[in-house]
């Protein structure tokens, strides 16, 4: 078994890095969204994670990983507009439930957290892989993490998930959207990357960066 574990300090750093990467990619995410949606995904996500960062910085020092993830969830749901708030909020809420009571997270716990997040998105959005949504980043992420051997290192789990999410986001470009506003475009959505899948990949890479510098 790997001796590497992640804790609340990692979650805090993940949130800080998430806020930074969303802010720096805000314009790009909105450009992607203008091609297939309302054009405000970057602004919405930036507003949400700015609010999240403020809440987390005020969180008690003894907050557990689950406490912090739940705080992310409730803040995103209340501050992010459109479908992204409920979808990402549900993801973090389900992730919180998967690690409730844990102070340290091993590889299996991180996988459970990611799986619960993905399942929450699927349940809330009623989307499947191939529908050109954020599920196309999350499902390969979970599959890649789950394919690692037993006793998996949590950083290896995160790295596998992030790599697969990035590939999954790129792979949404040739798809015809079957869910969300992009589905109204039909074939016109082909050639455009899904913004939710793209922001999901950014968040999962932030998790890796936070773990590697911890």
Residue % of the chain over a pLDDT of 70: 89
What is the reported pLDDT for 5? 86
Assign residue 91 the CATH number of its domain: 1.25.40.340
Does a structural domain hold residue 2?
A: no
Q: What is the pLDDT of residues 101-141, one digit of tens each?
A: 999 999 999 999 999 999 999 999 888 887 788 999 999 99
Average pLDDT of the chain to the nearest whole number? 89
- Cα(16)–Cα(122) distance, rounded to whole angstroms? 26
How far are the Cα atoms of 55, 125, 141, 160 from residue 121, in angstroms, in the given order? 23, 6, 13, 19
Residue 51 lies in a domain: yes
**Is pLDDT larger for residue 127 or for residue 192?**
127
Closest CA to 157 of 208, 120, 94: 208
Alpha helical stretches, state H, the chain: 8-24, 26-36, 41-57, 65-79, 84-98, 107-125, 135-146, 154-170, 195-212
* 2 has pLDDT over 90: no
What's the whole-number mean pLDDT along residues 154-167? 98
* Residue 6 phi, psi dihedral angles, 5° rounding: -115, 150
Per-residue pLDDT, 184: 39
What's the whole-number mean pLDDT along residues 49-78?
Answer: 96
The share of the chain scoring above pLDDT 90, in percent, equals: 72
Encode pLDDT of 202-212 as tens digits. 999 999 999 99
Residue 190 pLDDT > 80: no
Flag whether pLDDT at 186 surpasses 70: no
Residue 185, domain extent: 8-209
For residue 214, tell me if it sits in a domain.
Answer: no
> Is 44 among the domain residues?
yes
Residues 6 or more apart from 46 whose CB is under 8 A from it?
Answer: 22, 23, 26
Domain annotation covers residue 132:
yes
CA pair distance 64, 106, nearest whole angstrom = 14
In this structure, what token pair is assigned to residue 160? 């596998």
pLDDT band at 177 (very low <50, low <70, confident <90, very high): low
How many angstroms separate the CA atoms of 22 and 6, rounded? 23
Report d(CA 201, CA 71) in Å as an integer: 21
Task: Give the pLDDT confidence score for residue 12 in this predicted structure.
Answer: 97
Please indicate, yes or no, if residue 1 is contained in any of the structural domains.
no
Number of folded domains that form the chain: 1
Does some domain include residue 50? yes
Q: Is the residue at 186 inside a domain? A: yes
Mean pLDDT of 143-155: 93
**Is 161 a residue whose pLDDT tops 70?**
yes
pTM to 2 decimals?
0.92
């Amino acid at each position: 078994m790997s001796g590497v574990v992640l804790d609340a300090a990692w979650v805090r750093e993940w949130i800080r890095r998430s806020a930074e990467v969303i802010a720096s990619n805000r314009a790009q995410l909105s450009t992607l969204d203008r091609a297939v949606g309302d054009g405000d995904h970057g602004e919405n996500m930036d507003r949400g994670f700015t609010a999240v960062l403020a809440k987390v910085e005020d969180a008690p020092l003894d907050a557990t990983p689950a406490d912090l993830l739940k705080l992310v969830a409730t803040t995103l749901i209340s501050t992010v507009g459109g479908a992204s708030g409920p979808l990402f909020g549900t993801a973090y809420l389900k992730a919180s439930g998967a690690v409730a009571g844990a102070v340290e997270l091993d590889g299996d716990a991180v996988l459970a957290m990611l799986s619960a997040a993905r399942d929450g998105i699927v349940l809330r959005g009623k989307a499947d892989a191939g529908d050109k949504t954020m599920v196309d980043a999350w499902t390969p992420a979970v599959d890649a993490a789950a394919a690692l051997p037993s006793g998996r290192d949590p950083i290896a789990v995160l790295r596998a998930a992030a790599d697969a999410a990035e590939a999954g986001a790129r792979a949404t470009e040739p798809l015809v959207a079957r869910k969300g506003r992009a589905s109204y475009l039909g074939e016109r959505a082909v050639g455009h990357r899904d913004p939710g899948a793209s922001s999901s990949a950014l968040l999962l890479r932030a998790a890796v960066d936070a773990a590697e510098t911890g």
